[in-house]
Amino acid sequence: MKPGEWRLAFRWVWRILSLVALGVLVAPFLLSADKLAVWTPVCLARREGSSCALCGMTTAFAAIAQGRWRDAQALNRGSLPLYAFLALNQLGLVLDLYHRRRSRRGGKL
């Protein structure tokens, strides 16, 4: 593959993963914590009696959606930074799509 093709492939993979991340960010606003628990798989570490870096993240994201920042921090210390990173990534996706659309129209909107 040529360097330009790698860049294009990377950009498409990033866009697809960003759409998945958008679903992760929006789901707690649309579904209750109980429904989210049904849709998310049981953590293998939790099943074995330990924990992993993502344990509590689903309920933490639900707490963030309800504006309960301290509860989210208590459920998983990494929830707020991860949520912020994913939100910034979505902003990057919107800007990328905006510039792509603008460049297709020759700079005119």
| DSSP sequence for 64-93 | HHTT-HHHHHHH-TTHHHHHHHHHHHHHHH
| Average pLDDT over the chain, rounded to an integer | 89
Q: Which two tokens stand for residue 67?
A: 């504006």
Give the pTM: 0.80
Site of tokens 């639900």: 62
Give per-residue pLDDT as tens, 3-31. Answer: 789 999 999 999 999 999 999 999 999 99
C-alpha distances (whole Å) from 90 to each of 11, 47, 54, 75 are 14, 32, 20, 24
